[in-house]
Amino acid sequence: MAMAGSISNLPRRREREQARAATMSTEVRDRYHELFALREQGGGVADAAWSTGLRHRGFERFAELGWPTTRMEDWRHTNPAPLASLEVTLPPAGRVLNGAARRILNAAPVLPGATDRLVFVDGCYAPGLSYSSARAGLVALPLAVAARAQEDLVLRHLASIDGGESGALSALNQAFLADGAFVWLGEEACLEGLVEVIHVSTAGDDCRPAATFPRTLVVAGAGARAVLVERYVCAGETTHFANAVTEVYLAPDASLAHCRVTETSARSYHVSSTVVHQHAGSVYRGHAITVGGALVRNDLAVALDGVGASAVLAGLFVADGREHLDNHTLIRHNRASCTSRELYKGILADHATGVFRGKIVVAPLAQKTDSRQTNRNLLLSQGATIHSQPQLEIYADDVKCTHGAATGRLDEESVFYLCSRGISLPDARGILTGAFAAELLDGLPSETLGEQLRDTLHDRVGLVRLC
Amino acid sequence: MLEIRNLHAEVNGVEILRGIDLVVKSGEVHSIMGPNGSGKSTLAQVLAGRTTYAVTQGEVLLDGKNLLELEPEARAGEGVFLAFQYPVEIPGVSNSYFLRAALNAVRRYRGEEEVDAVDFLALVRAKVAALEMDPGLLKRPVNEGFSGGEKKRNEILQMVVLEPRLAILDETDSGLDIDALRIVANGVNALRDPRRSFIVVTHYQRLLSHVVPDFVHVLYAGRVVKSGGKELALELEEHGYGWLDQQFAQAARA
Amino acid sequence: MTQTTEALEQLAKADYKYGFFTEIEADTVPPGLDEGIIRYISAKKREPEWLLDWRLRAFRHWQTMTEPRWAHITYGPIDYQSIVYYSAPKVGKAPQSLDDVDPELLRTYDRLGIPLRERELLAGVAVDAVFDSVSVATTFKEKLGELGIVFCSFSEAVREHPDLVRPYLGSVVPAGDNYFAALNAAVFTDGSFVYVPKGVRCPMELSTYFRINAAATGQFERTLIVADEGSYVSYLEGCTAPMRDENQLHAAVVELVALEKAQIKYSTVQNWYPGDAEGKGGIYNFVTKRGACRGAHAKISWTQVETGSAITWKYPSCILQGDYSIGEFYSVALTNHLQQADTGTKMIHIGKHTRSTIISKGISAGRAQNTYRGQVRVLKAAEGARNFTQCDSLLMGDKCGAHTFPYIDVQNATAQVEHEASTSKIGEDQLFYCRQRGLSNEDAVSMIVNGFCKQVLAELPMEFAVEAQKLLGISLEGSVG
């Protein structure tokens, strides 16, 4: 909290920090400017004339905002300096390592019912790995292709929601916009099965980490219904930096189940901003599963802009080692009679740090708001840390709003109970940890995805037993 | 004593009461029966002064005084008591404190002296015992954590303490087991008096075999469609309300 | 319009009954702040060199600081050079007993409901009364003295018991802790001091009554309470101020030190002038209160009922250093009209098996903004720490706001931290139910509000609880719809 500390020489330290942050900010801006100029001049985005204006505006905005610092309330518990100090490089265009990508994709096998799949490797569309059902009422195409065919439609929506909290980093994504996924649902299109968008990061140059800027745009027409699975996976233990932005527009009564799964190696960095704009009666179900990462920061901002819209946000974040996972959510109740439900759970082992900051804002117009938010965290070892900030900001009186947060370790009694039945201590702990995560994995719109993630948790973190 | 003339009431533009006429004389017990949605509870709430319902026509006189012009608390002062179908919880306010505050408010309205804490306790303890209630309920917050039966008994306790002129029981029998029903009925019967009247809103005949009504009225679609003696309740119990639909359908055709 | 809104609006028309001004001769310095003023205050109080140095260090530090702006409150700039930093009722010499106190002052306290004389004789509550900047009377001193309890004005304590003051002054809230605490350290004029010796249970409630009287003055009192091993003390604090059109600054500091197995219970009923219905005038209540449980099994309990002030910015906190130490925070904050409150607590768990409880009830009416802001921090070594937090907000009318900003930082896996919050309005159902039983709308609202606050009011000493209940009703008058 921004409340004063008790150290009396704090101001001087703060001044030093400020000075350092300012210098750093300039350095980072220059570095990205160099990359930006190189790319814009070198014709590395030859195919993307349609987005030139967007990119330049994005860079201007990034330069104006500067790199975030821990002095900003939004970044209190996640130091963005390690991100700034990454000497990133842009992966060369068209470098599609189908072999490597295939190996990674093997770990994330096609989900049953996935009728459409868009795969991007290091930010570039991989046609060989993608396929489309060409169903009526659905367009699932790379952004660049879609923009050629439907430039108006794409440009009307792209980068038009302003609701994210991670301003500068979203702007940076826009500055380096090259390609991404475009998912469009026609009016009343009720799609069986699901649409998958997969972003694979391979490796950078020999020693410089690769930076990618994935972008996803979802536009759902009135009354449309669909399931979208957005996945970020990476190859091996290399360092890379992904900065993703996803925008979702839901027309009246549209309904979208949106799984956003991030599996990042302990040496990789991932920041993302998902913004959702909901019209009257629309339903958004967001499932955010984050496993690992040197530093992961996910922002999710949902604006309930139409009467009777509802949002259900479910999140699970799991980290070990010295990983740092940060989830920020913001739900804005802007109109009357909207409902929101939010449940985020964190599992932290070793010396991992978790951050949950969930804010619910109820605007004066939003009477009859019904909102419930819960954050529960499990600390599995002595060195693990959690920062939890559930926040309610309410300007209407006829509302029902509650939030709750609880942090603790595994219930000793339950562990003992399992052990007394002959289960080993690690297994007992694993089973109970799995049980803690279960409601979020079971709630996913794809059962197979839930099973895959259970395996991932088991293999990678080694904490969760199958149960 | 109570005269309801051509009472119309609506909520959100939907008319629920469509011209009720009813006269209740001192000392009488009237039962109002009817299927779900016929307007029974609305009538009870309108009489007590709930503003959710807008009265669009008609008048309600209690001893010649126009009730509709009075605020809910003034109606209580005049002696109107409503035993709620769903008694409300008030966290943090003890049951006995609430009851004494209500009693003294009503007494002040009537120009009577307030009852002090000691006298009140003696008074209420006796009533609690008569209703076979757990005296511990007096210390608990109003209706909070009470079982369904406890809530209903608590309503009767309040009635017994406030000694109203007109008591309206809104489905007080629902959710009560046989013993509780008997206790509640005894509470009501003990209060029967030539100067007091009751309106008993209920679905079932079973309460009426304990609290025997002088008149039974059948409410349907916002109107009193049939009135009779206590035997009408038995008739309804036997035949249900289905016949009303048929009659209504015939009326519509005619 | 709903019944709730109407009733609230009628209730809101009540007047602030403590808004009178007492005509009294006072020693007042010209407005403005520089080292000269600080030297003047220090000299006036015949302070030792070390304290003057401490003040000056704080002042120099304060000059490098900026006003905090992170709270959910808005107000115009404060001109620190237009504030009068010292105003004292003129007395020939320090009062030896109540007979030496200006009768006009005693009458003031009578009107406030604090009859010093009667309290001394009857109530068994020892009172220290602070008028503007200085302590004017402390009752029951002798009786307390027999037990070795020191209860006197801060200035007197500095002179008479420097060995008790010096080691603890600034040890909980350092001089440079935050902007307002630093300002206080530089210019504080008086306040109360309490020391309870080892194993002594203070036989009566100790009470301080703060009164801002003079115009354009700031009040900067400083309270220090030290409870030695195994002792117990319950301390009450009340505040009022005259109605004035301009805003007045109150920047107090309270430090509590509880040694091993000691218990301090600190209760506040804060009713500074809140400004008028249009938000004109009122006190800026920017206060730093913090207690340290230094020894094992120590306990500090804060209870506050905040109904006054135009702006409240205060976070009575507990630093739980001793193993098994306990921190509690019970709060009712009521804001009406254009009042703003950003209040809560910090519970810093350092020792093993430390426990804390936070119960906060916020009531917002009119166009007021009410924010709970609280931090629960469990440090690495705080094995087995536990916290339970419950924050409930009640909204009256659709133009006010209620906000809940908890900050939960846990660095120990064995800790158990729970936070629950809810926001609701007074239900139409509840109001109708009460009115059907004959209660007026105002009485119904007042009853429901008091019920909502019950958990907190139950923590207040009886005498204060009754006052607080009345205050809640009065403060809502004209607000309640």
Stretch C396-416: mean pLDDT:
90
- The answer, for B115 touching chain C at a CB cutoff of 8 Å, is no
The mean per-residue pLDDT over the stretch B219-226 comes to 91
Whether residue A397 and residue C393 make contact (CB cut-off 8 A), yes or no, is no
| pLDDT above 60 for A4 | no
CB atoms within 10 A of CB B163: 15
| Tens-place pLDDT, residues C216-244 | 677 888 999 999 999 999 998 876 666 66
Which among C436, C448, C455 is the nearest to B76, CB-wise?
Answer: C436
**C residues 130-189 closer than 8 Å to A (CB):** 173-179, 181
If you average pLDDT over residues A259-281, what whole number do you get?
93
In a domain, A383, yes or no: no
> Does B246 have pLDDT greater than 80?
no
**Looking at beta carbons, which residues of chain C come within 8 Å of A377?**
410
Q: Which of C436, C443, C454 sits opposite B82 (nearest CB)?
A: C436
Tell me, yes or no, if C453 comes closer than 8 A to chain B by beta carbon: yes
Among A272, A306, A340, residue at a domain's last position: A306
CB A304 within 8 A of CB A277: no
Of residues A355 and A465, more confidently modeled: A355
SS (HEC) of C300-348 = EEEEEEECCCCEEEECCEEEECCCCCEEEEEEEEEECCCCEEEECCEEE
Pairing relation of β-strands A181-185 and A194-201?
unpaired
pLDDT surpasses 50 at C433? yes
Mark out the alpha helices in C147-282 (DSSP H runs).
154-160, 162-165, 179-187
Tell me which H or E stretch contains C83.
none
Residue found by looking up tokens 């702007």 in the block: A171
Helices in C64-153 by DSSP H: which ranges?
103-111, 116-118, 141-146
Tens digit of pLDDT for each residue in A61-106?
898 888 888 888 889 899 988 888 888 888 776 555 556 666 666 6
Contact (CB<8Å) C373/A385: no
Chain C contact for A412 (CB, 8 A cutoff): no
The pLDDT score that the predictor gives to residue C241 is 62
pLDDT digits (tens, 9 = 90+) for A46-62: 567 788 888 999 999 89
- Structural domain including A196 reads 21-306
Between CA B225 and CA B221 the distance in angstroms is 9
Chain C residue whose CA is closest to A381: C413
> What is the number of domains present in chain A?
2
The nearest alpha carbon in chain C to B168 belongs to C436
The pLDDT score that the predictor gives to residue B177 is 86
Single-letter code of the amino acid located at A17? E
Instruction: Supply the pLDDT for residue C3.
Output: 43
Q: Which residue of A has its CA nearest to C371?
A: A393
**B56-60, C373-377, C470-474 — which is least confidently predicted?**
C470-474
Report the candidate in C471, C469, C463, C465 with the shortest Cα–Cα distance to residue C123: C463
User: In this predicted structure, what is the pLDDT of residue C442?
Assistant: 86
Dist CA A255 CA A262 (whole Å) = 23
- Mutating which of C361, C432, C436, C469 best tests the B interface, going by the most B Cβ atoms within 10 A? C436
| Interchain pair C436, B48: CB under 8 A | yes
Q: What is the pLDDT of residues A145-163, one digit of tens each?
A: 898 888 888 888 888 766 4
Q: Are A187 and A144 in contact (CB under 8 A)?
A: no
Is the Cβ of A379 closer than 8 Å to some Cβ of chain C?
Answer: yes
CA distances from C83 to C211, C266, C309 (A): 17, 29, 17
List, for residues C44-88, the tens digit of each pLDDT value: 888 999 999 999 999 999 999 999 888 888 888 889 998 888 877
Q: Is the pLDDT of residue A227 over 70?
A: yes
Mean predicted lDDT score pLDDT of chain A: 85
> Of C258 and B231, which is predicted with more confidence?
C258
CB contact under 8 A, A392 and C421: yes
DSSP character for C170?
T
Residues of A in contact with C408 (CB under 8 A): 386-389, 405, 407
Q: Among A364, A395, A405, whose Cβ lies nearest the Cβ of C408?
A: A405
For residue C228, the model assigns a pLDDT of 97
Nearest residue, CB atoms, B102 vs list C430, C437, C441: C437
**B92 in contact with C at a CB cutoff of 8 Å?**
yes
Instruction: State whether C406 and A391 contact (CB < 8 Å).
Output: yes
pLDDT in tens, A375-425: 999 999 888 999 999 988 988 888 888 988 899 998 888 888 777 787 788
Q: Do chains B and A touch (3 or more CB pairs under 8 A)?
A: no
CA distance B101 to chain C (A): 7
Which alpha helices (H) appear in A43-166, and where do they start and end? Answer: 52-65, 81-84, 98-107, 143-149, 151-157
% residues pLDDT > 90 (chain A) = 43
For residue C195, the one-letter residue type is: Y
Whether residue A66 lies inside any domain: the answer is yes
In contact, C309 and C274? CB cutoff 8 Å? yes
Q: What pLDDT is attached to residue C2?
A: 42
Residue C373 is predicted with a pLDDT of 94
Q: d(Cα C369, Cα C363) in Å, to the nearest integer? A: 9
Which residues, 6+ apart, have CB-to-CB distance to C142 below 8 Å? none
Long-range CB contact pairs, A129-133, < 8 A, 24+: A129/A98, A129/A101, A129/A102, A129/A105, A133/A193
- Residue A353: helix, strand or coil by DSSP? strand
**C420, B70, C106: which is closest to A392 by C-alpha?**
C420
- A385 found inside a domain: no
Do B178 and B133 meet the contact criterion of CB atoms below 8 Å apart? no
Looking at per-residue confidence, does A306 or C278 come out higher? Answer: A306
Question: Average per-residue pLDDT in chain C?
Answer: 84
Nearest chain B Cα distance for residue C368, angstroms: 24
Nearest residue of chain B to residue C432 (CA atoms): B50
Could you tell me the pLDDT band of residue A207, with boundaries at 50, 70 and 90? low
Name the minimum distance, in Å, from the CA of C367 to any CA of chain A: 10
Residue A461 CA to residue A325 CA, distance in Å, equals 14
Give the residue from A261, A229, A371 showing the smallest Cα distance to A312.
Answer: A371
User: Per-residue b/e over B218-236, b at no fewer than 16 CB within 10 Å?
Assistant: bbbbbbbbbeeebebbeeb
Q: Chain B within 8 Å of C439 (Cβ-Cβ)?
A: yes
C423 contact B CB<8A: no
- In angstroms, what separates the C-alpha of A276 from chain C's closest C-alpha? 23
Return d(Cα C113, Cα C116) in angstroms, integer.
Answer: 9
Is the CB of residue A1 less than 8 Å away from at least one CB of chain C?
yes
- For residues C105 and C24, is the Cβ–Cβ distance under 8 A? yes
Lowest mean pLDDT among A251-260, A297-306, B230-239, C106-115: C106-115
CATH of the domain at B148: 3.40.50.300
Q: Which band of pLDDT confidence, cut at 50, 70 and 90, is reported for residue A171?
A: very high
**Contact: A391, C405; criterion CB under 8 Å:** yes
* Contact call for C and B: 3+ CB–CB distances under 8 Å: yes
Give the gap in angstroms from C-alpha A361 to the nearest C-alpha of chain C.
9
Q: Nearest CA to CA, how far is A319 from chain C (Å)?
A: 14
Q: How many CB atoms lie within 10 A of CB C343?
A: 27
Where is pLDDT greater, at A415 or A331?
A: A331
User: Coil, helix or strand for A282?
Assistant: coil
Mean pLDDT of C241-255: 81
What is the sign of the dihedral through the CA atoms of B77, B79, B83 and B86? negative
Judged by a CB distance cut-off of 8 A, whether residue A409 touches chain C is yes
Cα A333–chain centre separation? 21
**Both tokens assigned to C51:** 């304290």
Whether A402 and chain C come into contact, CB under 8 Å, resolves to yes
- Whole-number pLDDT of residue A150: 84
| d(C-alpha C437, C-alpha B74), whole Å | 9
Domain termination site, one of A248, A282, A306: A306
Q: Which of B11, B52, B88, B96 to mutate to test the interface with C (most CBs of C within 10 A)?
A: B88
Hey, how many other C-beta atoms are within 10 angstroms of the C-beta on A461? 22
Q: Which of C332, C433, C469 to mutate to test the interface with B (most CBs of B within 10 A)?
A: C433
Nearest CA in chain B to C443: B101
Sheet of strand B215-220: strand arrangement: B80-83, B166-170, B197-201, B29-33, B215-220, B223-228
Measuring CA to CA, how many Å separate C288 from each of C41, C172, C251, C265? Answer: 21, 10, 8, 17
Tally the domains of chain B. 1
Asked if the C-beta of C61 comes within 8 angstroms of chain A's C-beta atoms, the answer is yes
Helix-, strand-, coil-residue percentages of chain A, each rounded to 5: 30, 35, 35
**What token pair was written down for C182?**
């630093």
Q: What is the pLDDT of residue C97?
A: 59
Q: Whole domain around residue B213: which residue ranges?
A: 2-253
Tell me what pLDDT residue C4 has. Answer: 43
| CA–CA distance, B9 with B7 (Å, rounded to integer) | 7
pLDDT value of position C100: 61
pLDDT at A465: 46
pLDDT above 60 for A462: no
Give me the interface pTM, i.e. the ipTM. Answer: 0.85
Q: Which residues of B touch C4 (CB under 8 A)?
A: none
C-chain residues within 8 Å CB-CB of A4?
A: 68, 177-179, 181
Q: Does residue C94 carry a pLDDT above 60?
A: no
C266-303 residue pLDDT tens:
999 888 888 888 888 888 999 999 999 999 999 999 99
Per CB-CB distance under 8 Å, the chain A contacts of C177 are 4, 6, 8
Is C427 in CB contact (< 8 Å) with chain B?
Answer: yes
Cβ atoms of A8 and C172 closer than 8 Å:
no
Is the pLDDT assigned to residue A444 strictly greater than 60?
Answer: yes
Cα B81 from Cα B67, distance rounded (Å): 13
Question: Is pLDDT larger for residue A236 or for residue B3?
Answer: B3
When pLDDT is cut at 50, 70 and 90, the band that residue C371 belongs to is very high
Residues in chain B: 254
Q: Would an 8 Å CB–CB cutoff place A410 in contact with chain C?
A: no
* Cβ pairs A/C, distance under 8 A: 145
Q: What is the pLDDT of residue A140?
A: 92
Task: Find tokens 């003339």 and name the residue.
Answer: B5
